[in-house]
């Protein structure tokens, strides 16, 4: 074991630190499933033990819920894919040594974008692109761009400059330094950004119904309009459940994509 | 003189947005197989000079010749793979194992897997780290000293002819630094690499350098020579000030115990009887002697008074010998050893611990004085 070789002071210190890290890691992966489980139990209980009037029954028609769920995931998935495909390359470009110094401007500009409520953004995109799920997808992609871009920039910039210097000094080309040193070391931070964006997108996809993009927002909206609290509750719980599942998946990815040794 | 391996010709570097050049029209030739130390005050351009050699920084003007070829143009990455580069912050890749770190350049050069593996183990041995223990560890599991060893091993990865080292031991505690310096000198005795070594520490420069270039602002060479010449004959006031007040004392680290004429003391080899001891000391007309065991290893200082005044066995009279020197020790080690003894004298033994002779403050002082005379009368 390593403990035999390293001085004891160091090894206990390391053990203590890794124990703390371990607990916070575990907490991250335990709290979410527990919450999700509680919601699921609640959902099933409410579903099984309440008697639905015909209107509620019509709103909560299972095949309809399934379609809405599917739409919700569709919107969330593609908006996240677009965010990743756009934000990471931009983050990489603006952090290159000889890149024009635009990253601070860019981040504050996108910060403004995020200050507009997602609702407003969807309406703006509706004016521009018209009805449909893809309008929502583009609006959400814009909305969730910032966390991924910011984390990509921060993740790349927090890489110890002496590590990059050493790589350069050994004759690694720019692309090699990027793919073999910088990106792997930035993965944890970038993944955290993607996780945030995913959860934002899953939640905000609820607004898709506003411009005919479907999603679980339809159920909540119908419940509100027809004054059916059970329907509102079930719609909201379903949204929360999906968000928690995505958050959990993001947590797993963050953990297992983290490079060894760091 | 042999052809220099690295030759900087009128190299100037002006950083963008800075008026004054960081390096101004520098001419510097590095001989194959030597350790050339660049030393000077902080900000004088040492790092810039070093980084010009492997074109981490592109020169504003001038030429860089390596192995007889102008490398000022052409692919800098190719050039860097032919030169090991070690920096103070080490910069090990934290997400790569020790073995992967060391294999960086061989991999880029597309060496076969098996050859790389053998090379990694060989290099770990070279820097005194057990491959079976450290190969698959990550840098976060190493101490500072071990990390710098791996840094050196990684720089030696593809067996480059040149090592460029920028304050490699600067961030390491003094005791470990001393050990790493010694190890590195031993290693260099075998490898005979051409090394350009940057430090701001004149003591380190004197210890490590075959030649030392003392730099002032803009990397201007104030003096370039062997350390003993610089220490005893500084070129100007700047060099003198940079050396500090203890320049002559620093020459102590350049000379070895073997350079001193050892005093022949009377030795008494076990088994020996008290009366025999006394008569031998009388005969040699001395009041003290060294008691040796059957294998000629020194045991105790004996003196006449102690022998006469007590009746205890020989191996319990006099004083035990606790400090020993070896011929390879520096005169600085010798001086501090002798200052620890009340007699101002220390025994010298060979590698197996056998008695060679004694070294005294007087003989050391004599050596320093003759050296002073030699240099003051050209
Ligand atoms: N990238 C840079 N841009 C501008 N000036 C620099 C840069 N690097 C170093 N300098 C300046 O060049 C001079 C020499 O620096 P350096 O070579 O690092 O000195 P040393 O290694 O001897 O301490 C200093 O005045 C420093 O401020
Ligand atoms: Mg420096």
Which of the listed residues B17, B39, B43, B202 should we mutate to test ligand 1's pocket, taking the one with most ligand atoms within 8 A of CB?
B43
| Residue found by looking up tokens 């720089």 in the block | B155
Query: Would A184 be classed as within a structural domain?
Result: yes
pLDDT at residue number A14? 54
Query: Would B353 be classed as within a structural domain?
Result: yes
**How much is the mean pLDDT over chain A?**
87
pLDDT band at B375 (very low <50, low <70, confident <90, very high): very low
pLDDT at residue number B125? 93
Residue B376 has pLDDT above 70, yes or no: no
- Are B246 and B363 found together in one domain? no
- Are B112 and B225 found together in one domain? yes
- Average pLDDT (B177-204) is 92
User: Where a domain ends, among B235, B251, B267?
Assistant: B251
Task: Please enumerate in sequence order all residues whose Cβ is within 8 A of that of B230, keeping only pairs 6 or more positions apart, or say none.
Answer: B212, B214, B223, B239, B243
- Are B164 and B262 found together in one domain? no
pLDDT at residue number B275? 80
Task: Please enumerate in sequence order all residues whose Cβ is within 8 A of that of B176, keeping only pairs 6 or more positions apart, or say none.
Answer: B144, B145
Q: How far is the CA of B42 from the centre of ligand 2 (A)?
A: 7
Task: Find chain A residues with C-beta within 8 A of B76's C-beta.
Answer: 171
Helix (H) or strand (E) holding B298: strand B298-303
- Are B99 and B180 found together in one domain? yes
Q: Are A68 and A218 in contact (CB under 8 A)?
A: yes
Least confident piece of the model among A229-238, B127-136, B342-351 = B342-351
pLDDT band at B302 (very low <50, low <70, confident <90, very high): confident
Helix (H) or strand (E) holding A194: helix A183-204
pLDDT band at A26 (very low <50, low <70, confident <90, very high): confident
- Are B341 and B262 found together in one domain? yes
With CA atoms as reference, the chain A residue closest to B154 would be A170
Q: And the tokens for B302?
A: 């004996």
What residue numbers bound the domain in which B30 lies? 6-251
Inspect the interface and report whether the beta carbons of A165 and B91 lie closer than 8 Å: yes
Question: Measured from the CA of B44, which atom of ligand 1 is nearest?
Answer: 22
pLDDT at residue number A28? 74
Residue A9 has pLDDT above 80, yes or no: no
Query: Would B28 be classed as within a structural domain?
Result: yes
| Nearest of A173, A170, A182 to residue B106 by alpha carbon | A170
Q: How far is the CA of B21 from the centre of ligand 2 (A)?
A: 15
Residue A4 has pLDDT above 70, yes or no: no
* CATH number where B322 lies: 3.10.580.10
pLDDT at residue number B226? 94
Residue B178, classed as helix, strand or coil, is helix
CA B158 to chain centre: 24
Considering only residues B226 and B282, tell me which one the structure prediction assigns the higher pLDDT: B226
pLDDT at residue number A84? 95
- Are B73 and B190 found together in one domain? yes
Which of the listed residues B12, B19, B22 should we mutate to test ligand 1's pocket, taking the one with most ligand atoms within 8 A of CB?
B22
pLDDT at residue number A108? 82
- Are B173 and B28 found together in one domain? yes
What's the whole-model pTM score? 0.80
Distance between A6 CA and the closest CA of chain B, angstroms: 8
What residue numbers bound the domain in which A152 lies? 24-256
Query: Would A4 be classed as within a structural domain?
Result: no
Sheet holding B211-216, edge to edge: B83-87, B162-166, B194-199, B35-39, B211-216, B220-225
Query: Would A127 be classed as within a structural domain?
Result: yes
* CATH number where A87 lies: 1.10.3720.10
pLDDT at residue number B272? 80
pLDDT tens digits for range A43-82: 999 888 888 888 888 888 899 999 999 999 999 999 999 9
pLDDT at residue number A244? 92
Distance between A9 CA and the closest CA of chain B, angstroms: 12
How many domains is chain B partitioned into structurally?
2
Considering only residues A27 and B203, tell me which one the structure prediction assigns the higher pLDDT: B203
Residue B165 has pLDDT above 90, yes or no: yes
User: Where a domain ends, among B204, B223, B251?
Assistant: B251
pLDDT tens digits for range B39-65: 999 999 999 999 999 999 999 999 999
pLDDT at residue number A16? 60
User: Where a domain ends, among B218, B251, B284?
Assistant: B251
Query: Would A9 be classed as within a structural domain?
Result: no
Query: Would A18 be classed as within a structural domain?
Result: no
Query: Would A104 be classed as within a structural domain?
Result: yes
pLDDT tens digits for range A36-46: 999 999 999 98
Residue B249 has pLDDT above 90, yes or no: no
Q: And the tokens for B120?
A: 């990694």
- Average pLDDT (B245-271) is 81
With CA atoms as reference, the chain A residue closest to B76 would be A171
How many domains is chain A partitioned into structurally?
1
* CATH number where B243 lies: 3.40.50.300
pLDDT tens digits for range B288-297: 888 888 888 8
- Are B217 and B339 found together in one domain? no
pLDDT at residue number B119? 96
Q: How far is the CA of B48 from the centre of ligand 2 (A)?
A: 7
- Are B61 and B192 found together in one domain? yes
- Are B37 and B85 found together in one domain? yes
Residue B13, classed as helix, strand or coil, is strand
- Average pLDDT (A221-226) is 92
Query: Would B377 be classed as within a structural domain?
Result: no
pLDDT at residue number B1? 58
Considering only residues A152 and B315, tell me which one the structure prediction assigns the higher pLDDT: A152
pLDDT at residue number B268? 84
State the CB neighbour count (10 A cutoff) for residue B283.
9
Query: Would B374 be classed as within a structural domain?
Result: no
- Are B148 and B276 found together in one domain? no
pLDDT at residue number A5? 38
Distance between B54 CA and the closest CA of chain A, angstroms: 8
pLDDT band at A25 (very low <50, low <70, confident <90, very high): low
Residue B222 has pLDDT above 90, yes or no: yes
- Are B115 and B187 found together in one domain? yes
Query: Would A16 be classed as within a structural domain?
Result: no
pLDDT at residue number A81? 96
pLDDT band at A15 (very low <50, low <70, confident <90, very high): low
pLDDT at residue number B270? 79
């Amino acid at each position: 074991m390593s403990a035999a070789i390293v001085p004891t002071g160091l090894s206990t210190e390391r053990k203590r630190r890794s124990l703390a890290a371990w607990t916070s890691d575990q907490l991250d992966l335990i709290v979410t499933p527990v919450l999700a489980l509680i919601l699921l139990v609640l959902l099933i209980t409410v579903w099984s033990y309440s008697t639905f009037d015909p209107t509620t029954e019509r709103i909560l028609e299972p095949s309809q819920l399934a379609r809405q769920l599917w739409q919700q995931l569709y919107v969330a998935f593609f908006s996240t894919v677009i965010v990743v495909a756009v934000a990471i390359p931009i983050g990489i470009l603006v952090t290159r040594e000889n890149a024009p110094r635009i990253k601070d401007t860019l981040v504050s500009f996108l910060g403004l974008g995020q200050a507009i409520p997602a609702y407003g953004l969807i309406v703006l995109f509706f004016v521009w692109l018209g009805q449909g799920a893809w309008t929502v997808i583009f609006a959400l992609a814009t909305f969730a761009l910032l966390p991924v871009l910011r984390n990509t920039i921060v993740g790349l910039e927090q890489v110890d400059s002496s590590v990059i210097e050493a790589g350069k000094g050994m004759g690694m080309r720019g692309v090699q330094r990027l793919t073999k040193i910088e990106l792997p070391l930035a993965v944890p931070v970038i993944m955290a950004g993607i996780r945030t964006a995913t959860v934002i997108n899953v939640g905000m996809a609820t607004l898709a119904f506003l411009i005919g993009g479907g999603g679980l927002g339809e159920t909540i909206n119908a419940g509100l309009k027809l004054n059916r609290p059970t329907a509102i509750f079930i719609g909201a719980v379903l949204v929360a459940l999906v968000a928690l599942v995505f958050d959990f998946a993001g947590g797993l990815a963050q953990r297992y994509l983290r490079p060894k040794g760091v | 003189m042999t052809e220099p391996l690295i030759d900087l010709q009128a190299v100037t570097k002006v950083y963008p947005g800075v008026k004054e050049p960081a390096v101004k029209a520098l001419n510097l030739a590095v001989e194959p197989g030597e350790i050339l130390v660049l030393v000077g005050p902080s900000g004088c351009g040492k790092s810039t000079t070093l980084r010009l050699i492997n074109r981490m920084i592109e020169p504003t003007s001038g030429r860089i010749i390596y192995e007889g070829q102008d490398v000022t143009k052409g692919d800098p990455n190719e050039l860097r793979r032919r030169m090991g580069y070690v920096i103070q912050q080490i910069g090990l890749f934290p997400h790569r194992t020790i073995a992967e770190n060391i294999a960086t350049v061989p991999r880029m050069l597309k060496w076969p897997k098996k050859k790389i593996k053998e090379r990694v183990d060989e290099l770990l041995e070279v820097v005194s780290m057990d491959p079976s223990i450290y190969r698959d560890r990550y840098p976060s599991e190493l101490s500072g000293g071990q990390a710098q060893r791996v840094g050196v091993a990684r720089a030696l990865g593809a067996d480059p002819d040149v090592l460029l080292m920028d304050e490699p031991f600067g961030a390491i505690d003094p005791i470990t630094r001393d050990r790493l310096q010694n190890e590195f000198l031993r290693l260099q005795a075998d490898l005979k690499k051409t090394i350009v070594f940057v430090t701001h520490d004149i003591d380190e420069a004197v210890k490590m350098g075959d030649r030392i270039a003392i730099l002032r602002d803009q990397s201007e060479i104030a003096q370039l020579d062997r350390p003993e010449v610089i220490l005893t004959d500084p070129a100007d006031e700047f060099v003198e000030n940079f050396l500090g007040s203890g320049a002559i004392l620093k020459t102590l680290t350049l000379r070895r115990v073997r350079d001193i004429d050892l005093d022949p003391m009377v030795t008494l080899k076990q088994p020996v009887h008290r009366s025999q001891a006394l008569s031998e000391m009388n005969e040699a007309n001395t009041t003290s002697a060294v008691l040796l065991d059957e294998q000629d290893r020194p045991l105790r200082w004996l003196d006449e008074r102690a022998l006469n005044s007590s009746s205890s066995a020989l191996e319990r009279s006099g004083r035990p010998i606790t400090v020993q020197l070896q011929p390879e020790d520096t005169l600085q080690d010798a001086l501090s050893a002798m200052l620890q003894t009340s007699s101002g004298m220390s025994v010298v033994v060979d590698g197996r611990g056998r008695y060679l002779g004694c070294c005294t403050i007087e003989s050391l002082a004599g050596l320093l004085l003759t050296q002073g005379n030699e240099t003051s009368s050209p």
